[in-house]
Structure 1
Amino acid sequence: MNIKAPRGTVDILPEQAKNWQYVERVIKNVCDRFHFNEIRTPLFEHTELFQRGVGDSTDIVQKEMYTFEDRGGRSLTLRPEGTASVVRAFVENKLFGSAIQPVKLYYFGQMFRYERPQKGRMRQLNQFGVEAMGSADPAVDAEVIDLAMTVYKELGLTSLKLVINSLGDSESRKNYREALIEHFSPHKEELCKDCQTRLTQNPLRILDCKKDRDHPSMKSAPSMLEFLNEESRTYFEKVKTYLDQMDIPYTVDKNLVRGLDYYNHTAFEIMSEAAGFGSITTLAGGGRYNGLVEDLGGPNTPGIGFGMGIERLLMALEAENITLPVEQQLDSFIVAFGEKAEMESVRLVHLLRENGVQVDRDYQGRKMKGQFKAADRVHAKFVLILGDEEVDNQVINVKHMQTGDQTEVAISDIISYMQTVTKEMGGIS
């Protein structure tokens, strides 16, 4: 029986996982500097959370969620995105009462969406995201965008494009919604079935449609910016001013609406412009969601955040030919031959690891030549050579594989010796 991974999922193999780990370390370091703290939420939630939080009219809720009924008859859903879960945790655990405001959180998580798998877009995807709740200051919007851009820049990406727009407050959105209905209604029968439904449920989503994006009515659609009231216009201008202050270039796109119902005011996407990246260029997207906390049972609390796909980030690194400085070597490998040496190697491996030295040994019963080949395959920097005679004399030979130099070290000193030489080569921090 040949069982394969489900469609839309992939195995991340050990060599690839090192790149993932490096990227995650960089991201965590950036979040530390921006004073964002990690939160971890469940993989599944009550279905109602996403229906209320994400929006009944969205493609995610209507077409893409993995929903099931548990043995108690409760409807549960594998999380399709991170914001609703984080906001639920914020409300349930009363983080709105924290003395430190805004509450700035980040997460790494697996999300699940039933959609057509393609490169960089899987049914099980890995996402990094941040949420800042408790401040309506447009400077927070700029800070969140700055964090996302900093992550990409720290990893070496240069072919980036930041696109921003304002969706305005509830009054501005209401006026814009009516204008879109008036504009698209004469063309209703020419639009796809989804957009025909969106026309009454959420006409802003028509602007985000991939099927109808080339329809002439799209190009002549009114701009959200034309319907911003004074407060919303001032807010957006401040966000742009803060980005200018940080020398973060951006493009205003009047058709950028994002795909989720909870967004208002600032919306943004970061795209890759690298040659050969592919037709779907978005790397990250997010925006402000004032009102979502209230919708999920909390007090009036403004918020803003974004989600960033790790798979797409790695694709962008590949498109720009960026090799991550990932260490693929092993600090040390013990080659043992002889019965006494075999027993002593077990003890030494344990002690070295216990004292912070990275080490491995042979478990295949290979002869000495085979053990050296094994050490070479794992790119060991040092090989520790131990035979029965060395055990009797309480010494061990340490060979530097790059230079070929060999040093005899007392077994009683091998821990401190290996700590020193590996630290000099960057093996121990």
Structure 2
Amino acid sequence: MTTRTIQAIRGMNDILPDQIHLWEFFEQTVRDWMAAYGYRNIRMPIVEQTDLFVRSIGAVTDIVEKEMYSFLDSLNGDSLTLRPEGTASCVRAVLEHNLLYAGPQRLYYSGPMFRHERPQKGRYRQFSQVGVEALGFAGPDIDAELIVMCAELWKKLGIFDVRLEIGTLGSAASRSLHRTRLIAYLEQHLGKLDDDAGRRLHSNPLRILDSKNPEMREIIEGAPRLLDDLDEDSLAHFEELQRILRDQEIDFDINPRLVRGLDYYNRTVFEWVTGKLGAQGTVCAGGRYDGLVEQIGGKPSPACGFAMGVERVLALMVECGGEIAHPVPDAYVIHQGELADGFAWKTARHLRDGGLKTILHCGNGGFKAQMKKADASGARFAVIIGDDEAQAGEISIKPLREAAAQVRVGLAEAADLLKRA
């Protein structure tokens, strides 16, 4: 009987050692970038009550209707869900632990999200996101800060050919007015609406404007614009946002059809998009969600944020020619002989204590075979120890990446010598 090989779930991918250096570079860049702006890290559970996402994202959305990994907890009968996005979880944590009591919060998180979608390049069932949330800030200045932050990150990552689109969803009152006008317009074109649009006509008509069906483009282009139904405060908020972005020399396009797939957004919405990734062109998206805190059970509080898909950002870095060097060891310790074996352990520990990345050869093999391992490791130097070296308390250092002579030095001076080389 042949045992079937078990493979990863489709759309949930391994990240292998040869790929991880790009992830680590991105993650460290993000940590430094967040710290520079005063954003603090928060970490939430991967599993939440299903009701959290139904209540916050909206029951009539693709995520809740089609994409959530939900299951019944057999121990207590609770309906639980693998988080499909991070904002609702972050707000839940802020409320549960009374973080807003201390004043407005600048927070960020990173980690896996889960959506049951058809896997394709740039769209996976388990994917990683970096999310940023600013809670307790009402003005357009914080909206602008989030956008300016992104522009700076693209430079740090060597990303170009990414474009900013901004829009506004106005207030609940202006959306209600617009919703009435939009439904009346779409009802005049019932025969041309596709199945998704027909299903959403009365439940979530704004989402129709985000349709990717080319047969719907003409209807969408002729639809009433939410910008024309804005209340005075929302219009002033949007105009001030534009002024700040211009002052900060951030280029943008106003997209009157820009909507979010989640129900909790209001006023500012924005997307960073690129033409380098094919159909999955949205690299980062966000906006304001002033009603969500109250919707989840807290006192009314303004909030805004954004999220970026890490896999897409990394793919864009590669498309933009970003070359991140693989980390390599500084030294590979080769040893043979009874005395040499013990001294090799001491040597490796000494070099690591001196700040050098050091591999100690494990397993059998003569000097020649070990030297091949050292060369294959990418190490800059081979540290060679035989019984003669061990007895003298010395090591031989052979450069592996340049034509230079092998030298023999005492262990005490080895770390300094290697760091200077």
| Superposed pair shares fold, TM > 0.5 | yes
- Find the counterpart in structure 1 of residue 92 from structure 2: 88
Q: Considering only aligned residues, what root-mean-square deviation do their CA atoms show, in Å?
A: 1.5
- Find the counterpart in structure 1 of residue 47 from structure 2: 44
State the Cα distance separating 1:386 from its structure 2 match: 0.3
Alignment of 1:216 onto 2:218: yes
Alignment of 1:370 onto 2:373: no
Q: SS of 1:269's equivalent? A: strand
Q: 1:37-56 CA deviation, whole Å, 9 max, x = no partner? A: 11110011000000011111
State the Cα distance separating 1:190 from its structure 2 match: 2.8
Q: SS of 1:35's equivalent? A: coil
- Find the counterpart in structure 1 of residue 81 from structure 2: 77
- Find the counterpart in structure 2 of residue 149 from structure 1: 151
Q: SS of 1:200's equivalent? A: coil
Alignment of 1:418 onto 2:420: no
State the Cα distance separating 1:392 from its structure 2 match: 1.3
Q: 1:376-415 CA deviation, whole Å, 9 max, x = no partner? A: 111111211100011111211122222433222212x05x
State the Cα distance separating 1:213 from its structure 2 match: 6.2
Does the aligned pair in 2 maintain the 1:382–1:398 contact within 8 Å? yes
Structure 1 residues 6 and 405, CA gap change in structure 2 (3 angstroms): same
- Find the counterpart in structure 2 of residue 290 from structure 1: 290
Unaligned runs of 5+ in 2: none
Given the two structures, how large is their TM-score scaled by the length of structure 2? Answer: 0.96
- Find the counterpart in structure 2 of residue 198 from structure 1: 200
Structure 1 residues 222 and 383, CA gap change in structure 2 (3 angstroms): same
Counterpart AA for 2:201: L
State the Cα distance separating 1:230 from its structure 2 match: 1.1
* 1:218-367 alignment runs, 5 A limit: 218-274=220-276, 277-324=277-324, 326-367=325-366
Counterpart AA for 1:65: M
Distance of 1:131 and 1:268 partners within structure 2? 14
Given the two structures, how large is their TM-score scaled by the length of structure 1? Answer: 0.94
Does the aligned pair in 2 maintain the 1:224–1:254 contact within 8 Å? yes
| Number of positions where the alignment pairs a residue of Structure 1 with one of Structure 2 | 416
Structure 1 residues 322 and 357, CA gap change in structure 2 (3 angstroms): closer
Distance of 1:254 and 1:108 partners within structure 2? 30
State the Cα distance separating 1:354 from its structure 2 match: 4.1
Q: 1:326-384 CA deviation, whole Å, 9 max, x = no partner? A: 34321111010112211221232234334432111222312111111111111111211
Q: SS of 2:396's equivalent? A: strand
Q: SS of 2:201's equivalent? A: helix
State the Cα distance separating 1:27 from its structure 2 match: 1.2
Q: SS of 2:188's equivalent? A: helix
Q: How high is the sequence identity, in percent, across the aligned residues?
A: 40
- Find the counterpart in structure 2 of residue 160 from structure 1: 162
Does the aligned pair in 1 maintain the 2:11–2:124 contact within 8 Å? yes
Does the aligned pair in 2 maintain the 1:192–1:212 contact within 8 Å? no
- Find the counterpart in structure 1 of residue 399 from structure 2: 400
Does the aligned pair in 2 maintain the 1:283–1:308 contact within 8 Å? yes
Does the aligned pair in 2 maintain the 1:207–1:213 contact within 8 Å? no
Structure 1 residues 133 and 5, CA gap change in structure 2 (3 angstroms): same
Q: 1:161-208 CA deviation, whole Å, 9 max, x = no partner? A: 000001001111111111111111122343222222211111111111
State the Cα distance separating 1:57 from its structure 2 match: 1.0
Does the aligned pair in 1 maintain the 2:395–2:410 contact within 8 Å? yes
Q: SS of 2:365's equivalent? A: coil
Structure 1 residues 420 and 249, CA gap change in structure 2 (3 angstroms): farther
Unaligned runs of 5+ in 1: none
Q: SS of 1:369's equivalent? A: helix
Does the aligned pair in 2 maintain the 1:134–1:302 contact within 8 Å? yes
Deviates more, 1:152-161 or 1:206-215: 206-215
